[in-house]
Structure 1
Amino acid sequence: MSSNNTASRDVVVVGAGFAGLYTTIHARRAGLNVLGIEAGSDVGGTWYWNRYPGARCDVESIDYSYSFDEDLQQQWRWSERYATQPEILRYLSHVADRFDVRRDYRFDTKVAGARWDEDAQVWHISTSAGDTVTARWLVMATGSLSQPNLPDLPGRDSFAGAVYLTANWPAEGVDFTGLRVGVVGTGSSGVQSIPLIADQAAELTVFQRSANYSVPAYNRPLADEEWQQVLEEYPRRRKESWNSAAGSPWGSYSVPYENLAPEEREQVLAESWTRGGVLYGKAFERQTIDTEINDAARVYFERRLRNIVRDEDLARDLTPTDHPIGTKRICTDSGYFETYTRPNVHLVNLRRDPITAITPGGVQTESGFHALDAIVYATGFDALTGALTAIDIIGRHGRTVRDAWKDGAQTYLGIGVPGFPNLLTLNGPGSPSVLSNMALGSEQQGSYALRLILHAAEHGYSSVEARSDAAAAWTAHLGEVAGKTLFADAPSWYAGANIPGKPRTFMPYLGGFHTYTARLDEVAGNGYPGFVFSEN
């Protein structure tokens, strides 16, 4: 399309992950003229870009899927308990085929900027293709974890070897056979990729700033009998998920911690451990609220770790000390701690021995030099806000989202941003987002955005904007809810702690998926108080 060509749409949806696909499919079903814009060459969102070795979802695959179409739910067959990235990508491609959604998308296209036109009550959206699209509504389904974070290390760009980012992995894969490899970062992508990189590399050096809690996935193939049972139980399982705190059917043990004998508590922790990964974080009610309960879960973790890593100094370096267990996302691994017992794997504790420079030949720390052929940055994302502040989204009075959020993100219900009419954000700050099952969360978010759009159309409104006082109150509520938990004590990416200079505010809604959904339904049922509706 030429640079002077302008297309007009009812809705532009940015992103083709779970939220973007759902919203685009249902916008078309509602009779809206919709256009999707996606930077990748195909659908998938986060799962298109995150192709690193071992990439796997930490929500069970049978739950990490759409619930809106019964035929889709019954006909797609998951092969494993925790699906790998290729299988999740195949699933999303299957969804795109089934609902013919690609015809509504422009791929290999980035949104360069967006400007609100007050007179016309539309957004003018410029793209990397050099054209402009006008739309009444701009829906940002850009994902909670989609803006990669590459640390600004001295000499970083001088390295002469190969450099990889787990958040933007080559589609063709990487062969590390015989190479000296350094991995910087031990968050989820590091924990998942390190065992597989160690299988290939001649030498693997892991540079760890913060040790993380990780629990084995206990992954397994789904046998035909188990799968048949899943299909039969889907109605109950989905109902439980929609009425849960995190969008999955798993809850905490029914008997309170204080009512159990020590051996019973141990049994609950052991059973929860075998559920795998993040599910260990909810063995007991109040586990991320009550310090005594949290300490019990921590001590059990440390004992399991030392059963694997017998070297006391190494075990101590691998033991988290900067946050209560579960207040940073517990990683889900396959042989992570076992990897450090291999002779070709070395751990550098950056708190004791920080990086002073990246050089053409490797990494210099205070204590010595590490010669490397390749560096992998498993350094995560500018979470929740990064994908939005990276784009020049200009609202009223020429103010950008970046400017509006310079002291911390403020949204109303995680959906509306004051000063930015007809801009709706999905799975961003102010919503449960990463604290819930993102598949069901994306359905919930996309559905609510479309309810708001259709409500405005039905009543003849040309724009909808979140009130500043409503956004301030909702954002304060996020902090109040988090402040009653141990999450407030953790330097996590939930609060922007991994990005230098980013305001430290707890961004997700911690009050629970079901509670949040009920709140949105209440607001809709009362005519959307907290939003201002305008006529052109």
Structure 2
Amino acid sequence: MVLGAGVAGLYQLHQLREQGLRVRAYEAGTDVGGTWYWNRYPGARFDSEGYIYQYLFSEDLYKDWSWTQKFPDQPEIEQWMHYVADRYDLRRDIQFSTTITGANFDEDRGRWTIHTDRGDTIDTQFFITCGGMLSAPLENVFEGQDTFRGRIFHTSRWPKEKVELAGKRVGVVGIGATGIQVIQTIADEVGHLTVFARTPQYVLPMKNPKYGEAEQTWYKSRFAELKATIPHTFTGFEYDFEHVWADCSPEQRQEILEEIYQDGSLKLWLASFGEMFFVEEVNEAVSEFVREKMRARLKDQRLIDILVPTDYGFGTHRVPLETNYLEVYHRDNVDLVGVRDNPIARIAPEGIQLSDGTVHQLDVIILATGFDAGTGALTRIDIRGRDGRSLAEDWSRDIRTTMGLMIEGYPNLLTTAVPLAPSAALCNMTTCLQQQTEWITDVIRHVRKQGKSVIEPTRQGEDAWIAHHEETANATLVTKTHSWYMGSNVDGKPRRLLSYIGGVGTYRKKCDEEAAAGYPSFQTS
């Protein structure tokens, strides 16, 4: 059984069917798409280039789809997901509008019993989770939300029907990657926009050219090159770190940063100087380069104080791409409210009330308040492993996995986009989800070929992976910050870097080595 019908779930379903297995996927949405089904808020789009955010297992599948822009928007991405589902006739093995509520491992039979909100009981040998790393939204975050007289939307639960914002007083809570996309998109539509900003973000401008036949021919001609390159880079993008800080003069460093900045992509974060993740002096130099770019656009010192980060370094949080986002704050119909020192106290019937008692009157509130990343998709399900162990309880004490692919104590539970793998955050998602689902497909084949029925990690194997993960993470500056990367946005969540930061290529190599050695970190029965 496969949980989810997004990028991972669709490909996993296809692979298992190709292996000749009886398989069924269950999806809470009414159609395929995963992230690109749920996140249909204004301005939602890729910040990975469209031509690398694709499956690479089939050249025909790749070349028969044509993107119309470098960074496609949600409607086009959703159409691409439908194209994939149609191409392989996947919907016939997907049950939609169904939420998995519980899963129990039967040790005597070596099988999972799974329950849904529709009353289904599913008996399955393997339970494969493709629920996504950002699919458990933090929706009920403020006291009094149910008293608001207007409408409240969480960005990841945006309705399919058009939401009328014209002329309305709209408040946006949150200025992470999602909030930024919303703000820059609706500012010229709403009557008045109030942005509630707590944690400032380093932002990079997006350059998003339209793609015609010439551009489509260009990227399609690179299929073999991209397939050979993308899976082995540090972040699963087409580019990789090319420059060494110590080898460059101050003038050369400035020239390199300026040239990469002008690319209008995530390249400054993912392919400039890798030392920025490890060496504070390098990180500060790159951070100051980006700060200066932001200050020059904002001009107003009050805006600069609220929107330009100074207490953490560039690249240690998620870096958003934007289009004229900073310029929004110069509009007459936009107010910026800093809530770091005067936080939101509650939602009142008429709007948002701050701790000092100020009430901002609003007609619509948009919550871009983030997710219980990496873990939330599974901890919101009552998953019980050996001896009735609860995954939610286990992860509330210590977030543990074996390579982000299995969890000790939970046999035949195979996972994607969960902690301690690059797919938990630090990856072009299709790159990592393809790799993980292919590994899962191979390990199921291995179990069946052995004549066995159950596989699970050993405690020793899991301990070894966690030790490697922690050693790698603690060598970086990322673990010294507070962000959703570290679980800091969820009260009580154990502090651990959710994503493996040793590199996508390195992770793939370690997974391949584990398989080639006969899966020594796992045991079968």
TM-score over 0.5 (shorter chain) = yes
With 499-508 and 145-154 compared, the bigger mean Cα shift is at 145-154
Q: The residue matched to 2:397 in structure 1 has which SS?
A: coil
Q: Summarize the alignment of residues 266-415 of structure 1 with structure 2, pairs less than 5 Å apart.
A: 266-282=254-270, 283-367=272-356, 368-415=358-405
Aligned amino acid, residue 15 of structure 1: G
Which residue pairs with 1:514 in the alignment?
A: 505
Q: Note if 1:67 corresponds to 2:56.
A: yes
TM-score normalised by the chain length of structure 2? 0.97
Q: Label 1:459 to 1:39 Cα distance change in 2 as closer, same or farther (>3 A).
A: same
For the residues of structure 2 that align with 1:158 and 1:365, how far apart are their CA atoms? 16
For the residues of structure 2 that align with 1:493 and 1:397, how far apart are their CA atoms? 31
Which residue pairs with 1:527 in the alignment?
A: 518
Q: Deviations over 1:219-252 (max 9, x none)?
A: 1112322221211122112211122111111122
Q: The residue matched to 2:462 in structure 1 has which SS?
A: helix
Q: Note if 1:478 corresponds to 2:469.
A: yes
Which residue pairs with 2:248 in the alignment?
A: 260
1:309 Cα deviation after fit: 0.8
- Quick check: 2:207–2:264 contact (8 Å CA) kept in 1? yes
Q: Note if 1:460 corresponds to 2:448.
A: no
For the residues of structure 2 that align with 1:274 and 1:212, how far apart are their CA atoms? 19
Which residue pairs with 1:129 in the alignment?
A: 118
With 19-28 and 474-483 compared, the bigger mean Cα shift is at 474-483
Q: Deviations over 1:197-229 (max 9, x none)?
A: 211111111111101111111111123222212
Q: Summarize the alignment of residues 15-414 of structure 1 with structure 2, pairs less than 5 Å apart.
A: 15-254=4-243, 256-282=244-270, 283-367=272-356, 368-414=358-404
Q: Note if 1:13 corresponds to 2:2.
A: yes
- Quick check: 2:410–2:456 contact (8 Å CA) kept in 1? yes
Aligned amino acid, residue 327 of structure 1: T
Q: The residue matched to 1:375 in structure 2 has which SS?
A: strand
For the residues of structure 1 that align with 2:162 and 2:474, how far apart are their CA atoms? 42
One of 479, 495, 510 as aligned partner of 1:504? 495
- Quick check: 2:291–2:309 contact (8 Å CA) kept in 1? no
Q: Note if 1:429 corresponds to 2:419.
A: yes
Structure 2: runs of 5 or more not aligned: none
C-alpha RMSD of matched pairs (Å): 1.2
For the residues of structure 2 that align with 1:72 and 1:172, how far apart are their CA atoms? 30
- Quick check: 1:277–1:333 contact (8 Å CA) kept in 2? no
Aligned amino acid, residue 290 of structure 1: V
- Quick check: 1:324–1:489 contact (8 Å CA) kept in 2? no
- Quick check: 2:59–2:223 contact (8 Å CA) kept in 1? no
Aligned amino acid, residue 511 of structure 1: G
1:277 Cα deviation after fit: 4.2
Structure 1: runs of 5 or more not aligned: 1-11
With 426-435 and 23-32 compared, the bigger mean Cα shift is at 426-435
Q: Label 1:452 to 1:492 Cα distance change in 2 as closer, same or farther (>3 A).
A: same
- Quick check: 1:353–1:366 contact (8 Å CA) kept in 2? yes
For the residues of structure 2 that align with 1:275 and 1:414, how far apart are their CA atoms? 33
Q: Label 1:233 to 1:482 Cα distance change in 2 as closer, same or farther (>3 A).
A: same
Which residue pairs with 1:9 in the alignment?
A: none
One of 408, 419, 427 as aligned partner of 2:409? 419
Q: Deviations over 1:177-209 (max 9, x none)?
A: 111111111111101110122111111111111
- Quick check: 2:295–2:308 contact (8 Å CA) kept in 1? no
With 46-55 and 462-471 compared, the bigger mean Cα shift is at 462-471
Q: Deviations over 1:78-134 (max 9, x none)?
A: 111111111111111000000000011000011111111111111111111101010
For the residues of structure 2 that align with 1:274 and 1:81, how far apart are their CA atoms? 15
1:151 Cα deviation after fit: 4.9
With 359-368 and 410-419 compared, the bigger mean Cα shift is at 359-368
Q: The residue matched to 1:406 in structure 2 has which SS?
A: helix
Aligned amino acid, residue 516 of structure 1: Y
For the residues of structure 1 that align with 2:392 and 2:406, how far apart are their CA atoms? 15
With 260-269 and 514-523 compared, the bigger mean Cα shift is at 260-269
1:263 Cα deviation after fit: 2.2
For the residues of structure 1 that align with 2:63 and 2:459, how far apart are their CA atoms? 44
TM-score normalised by the chain length of structure 1? 0.95
For the residues of structure 2 that align with 1:371 and 1:476, how far apart are their CA atoms? 50
Q: The residue matched to 1:405 in structure 2 has which SS?
A: helix
Aligned amino acid, residue 383 of structure 1: A
For the residues of structure 1 that align with 2:62 and 2:490, how far apart are their CA atoms? 38
Q: Deviations over 1:144-186 (max 9, x none)?
A: 0100012532322211111011011011131211111111111
1:17 Cα deviation after fit: 0.6
1:329 Cα deviation after fit: 0.9
For the residues of structure 2 that align with 1:248 and 1:90, how far apart are their CA atoms? 22
